[in-house]
Structure 1
Amino acid sequence: MSFHTFNMILSGACTAFTCLSIFVLMSMHATHLSKPKEQLKIMRISTLLPLYSVFSFLSICFPEIYVYLEPWLDVFQSAALGTFYLLMLELLAPATSRQDMFFAALAIPPSGSESAADSLSWYRKTWIAIFQYPAVAVILSLATDITQAAGVYCLESSKPYFAHLWITIFINLSLISAVIAVLKFYKSFKSQLKSHQPLAKLLAFKLIVGLSFLERIIFFALRATDVLKPDDQLTYADVNIGIPTMVICLQMVPFALFFHYAYSVRPYIIRRTLPAMEASVNPAYSAVSDERRYQGGPLGVRAWLAMLDLREIAGAIRFAFTMVFAGKSVGRGEELNKLGSR
């Protein structure tokens, strides 16, 4: 058996397990949708694992498309990172819209802020640092596909006249900036988030991002120094594509299990009382109104459809760039309110 065949079997099994495990978790949230604004974000974050696994498995099966698929994992990761930040905001200050969510959170001063102006500026910088990452990821993913098609990307080279080196540097700088901003935000509000298992939620997501970043650097260095190179057992595709993607498929398995703990559906399950018992103490009770406390619809169909709505993350990215172009005027309350109403 060749390494490629073995890799497809092992990675395929891991991918199937990851997808099934996350589908079960997402289905539980979809059918017990008692807090849609939180749970839809959890469902969107959870899609990162199946997407990572499926894209990695496809790259193993069809190595020729790896260079075109791999950069889009950064797009999925950046969207999940932004959604994780929005989830923390929602847990801190539940709101009815993205704009309200942001401005309601401004009422909570981060640790170390001395004034409302400092607090406002801190939130603005945090928002921009996080939501620049999805925009940068999309641009660099398109650049990767274009330069690869034009023959000037060169995956295995770190020479400055190839696009691979510069794209790798820029995407890593963007990732580091976003991750640091999220970590600072979590540190500032750790005590307020205590009742929501913040450390588990943080680790479940940040370990994926951290390992992905670390592995990218390691394999980039190994390829550049010829430590990993083809031999009698390993082909070029195995060395440059098969091994890195196999590692991703393997590590998604324990993360899929950990997600069931970190993003458990238990806090969102409404304990129903027996209709007869409830009616005896509450004449206005009806079993129909009890059922309506879950807003996912039959089999959670409405929840699945709502999860696919990308307007929230798109609006957050647009809002970040609006603040960048508005400059320092965003630090003033009146102008910031006008900005948020656009």
Structure 2
Amino acid sequence: MAPNHFSNFVGTYKNLRPPAAIIAGCSVLGALVLSIFLIMQHLQSYNNPAEQKWIVAVISMVPIYATESIISLWNPRLSLACDILRNCYEAFALYSFGRYLIACLGGEGKVVELLEDEYAEHLRKSLSDGLNENYDMDDRSFCNFFWHPGKLGKDLLTIEKFGLVQYMILKTVCALLAFILELFGVYGDGEFKWYYGYPYIAVVMNFSQMWALYCLVQFYNVTHERLQPIQPLAKFISFKAIVFATWWQGVGIAVLCAFGVLPNEGKFQTGLQDFLICIEMGVAAVAHVFVFSAKPYNFLPSAAYGKVRKETKEGALEIDDENRQKAALLKETSSRVESPRTSVTESVQDIVVEGGQRVVKDVVLAINQAIGPVEKGVTRIQQTFQHRAVVSSDDEEKESDIQVERDVIILA
């Protein structure tokens, strides 16, 4: 009965595939229109490159995901290639979101000052509570990253950057490794079997992604008060939902297929994942229009140039004056400098060149941070061996001297 049931289910899936592809295509079309429109708004009002280059990178996640998913849905043979590209960009988008938060805080220099001020505040409170003099060394320990991240000071920024970059590096390496394993037929996408590479790569990527997200959450917990002007919670939830929905959704479908809840035949698993992503990207595109709006960048903070716009807000209220209601009218007039349009070509060039240089610097820094402890460990091992070699040679010399003295005594 079970084989017939699954064959009927697969047959039903094949019948539903064309209308599902049409529905997904409509959702993707809407996502592309909204995302491209929002990206063009940022490129034409590119007045804060430090923030907007990373906003564009995060927003681009929706059209890239949507395009790759609809291609994979229409042509299942390209599903693995599309999945690899999608996963690589997911890691870059997570890194871009972290850089966006740093830019909103004024750059790395300002973030270091902010974190050191937070650490100094914790130190003052602890000293006032009468803790020991070794509090400074204890408070900088890595264990506080889990319980009191604000006590780490500037080290929190280093951990956060390393957490994001390691995920970007591992995601790219694992994607290339999955492609190579697939060429040899031993990748087994969605197969939880020991002789396939998929379960091992999935475990590594799950740990790496969770660590990157945890680093981002801890950084947000310390800095969220300073980020209130940009409404960080809405941005954080909208971005985090995409990352979790895509990766964990795929893992959940693979687990259900492995336990027989869903049919583990043909391209059902990847097709279902692609269909759900297409629908979700339509919803994400609508959310991005409001969450990552370009309106705050349409006006300049100073009247260096541009068109001055005055806005008057009026509000009516009633005032109690000796048990009599009196109507009052409040007016608030504000002046803002409307910025001129910026060149889309120059905006794209800044995103590619400046953003690329920043990525390379952070990757090199993360690699050096990872290699540093290894080099120190190797150096210590070499020093230990050298010390033992010197000690053993000294012992041999002493033994030879003692033997010579014994021979001299015997001859005497």
The TM-score with structure 1 as length reference comes to: 0.81
Partners of 1:248 and 1:308 in 2: how far apart? 27
Partners of 1:165 and 1:191 in 2: how far apart? 40
What is the deviation of 1:328?
11
Mapping of residues 257-272 of structure 1, within 5 Å: 257-270=286-299, 272=306
**2:64 aligns to what?**
51
Partners of 2:215 and 2:249 in 1: how far apart? 21
Mapping of residues 106-125 of structure 1, within 5 Å: 106-109=112-115, 114=123, 118-125=152-159
Structure 1's unaligned 5+ residue stretches are: 95-100, 276-289, 330-342
**2:184 aligns to what?**
150
Mapping of residues 298-309 of structure 1, within 5 Å: 300-309=344-353
**1:134 aligns to what?**
168
The one-letter code sitting in structure 1 at the alignment partner of 2:38 is L
Partners of 2:48 and 2:340 in 1: how far apart? 8
SS across alignment from 1:70: helix
1:29 aligns with 2:42: yes
Partners of 2:83 and 2:196 in 1: how far apart? 17
Which structure has more RCO (C-alpha within 8 Å, separation ≥ 6)?
A: 1
CA displacement 1:12-31 (0-9 Å, x = unmatched): 11111111100000111111
Partners of 1:69 and 1:254 in 2: how far apart? 21
What count of residue pairs does the alignment treat as equivalent?
A: 301
* Alpha-carbon distance change, 168 to 274 in structure 1, aligned in 2, over 3 angstroms: closer
The one-letter code sitting in structure 1 at the alignment partner of 2:269 is N
* Alpha-carbon distance change, 162 to 31 in structure 1, aligned in 2, over 3 angstroms: same
**2:322 aligns to what?**
none
**1:318 aligns to what?**
364
| Alpha-carbon contact 1:124-1:323 (below 8 Å) kept | no
Mapping of residues 62-141 of structure 1, within 5 Å: 62-94=75-107, 101=108, 103-109=109-115, 114=123, 118-141=152-175
Partners of 1:35 and 1:156 in 2: how far apart? 43
SS across alignment from 2:153: helix
| Alpha-carbon contact 1:26-1:46 (below 8 Å) kept | yes
**1:284 aligns to what?**
none
CA displacement 1:270-318 (0-9 Å, x = unmatched): 275369xxxxxxxxxxxxxx89x55732xx2211233334232232222
The one-letter code sitting in structure 2 at the alignment partner of 1:38 is E
What is the deviation of 1:149?
0.8
Match of 1:255 among 275, 279, 284: 284
| Alpha-carbon contact 1:79-1:313 (below 8 Å) kept | no
The TM-score with structure 2 as length reference comes to: 0.68
Report percent identity of matched pairs: 19
| Alpha-carbon contact 2:156-2:219 (below 8 Å) kept | no
What is the deviation of 1:130?
1.4
What is the deviation of 1:133?
0.5
What is the deviation of 1:160?
1.2
Deviates more, 1:127-136 or 1:116-125: 116-125
Partners of 1:263 and 1:156 in 2: how far apart? 34
What is the deviation of 1:76?
0.5
| Alpha-carbon contact 1:68-1:144 (below 8 Å) kept | no
Match of 2:266 among 211, 231, 236: 236
SS across alignment from 1:151: coil
| Alpha-carbon contact 2:88-2:172 (below 8 Å) kept | yes
Partners of 2:104 and 2:52 in 1: how far apart? 11
What is the deviation of 1:240?
1.6
The structure carrying a bigger strand percent of its residues is: 2
| Alpha-carbon contact 1:106-1:123 (below 8 Å) kept | yes
CA displacement 1:5-49 (0-9 Å, x = unmatched): 112211111111111100000111111111111111101111101
Partners of 2:289 and 2:15 in 1: how far apart? 35
| Alpha-carbon contact 1:12-1:57 (below 8 Å) kept | yes
The one-letter code sitting in structure 1 at the alignment partner of 2:57 is R
* Alpha-carbon distance change, 10 to 273 in structure 1, aligned in 2, over 3 angstroms: same
The one-letter code sitting in structure 2 at the alignment partner of 1:268 is Y
**2:315 aligns to what?**
none
Which of 1 and 2 has greater Rg? Answer: 2
**1:286 aligns to what?**
none
SS across alignment from 1:159: coil
CA displacement 1:28-84 (0-9 Å, x = unmatched): 111111111111110111110111111111111111121232132221111111111
The one-letter code sitting in structure 2 at the alignment partner of 1:47 is S
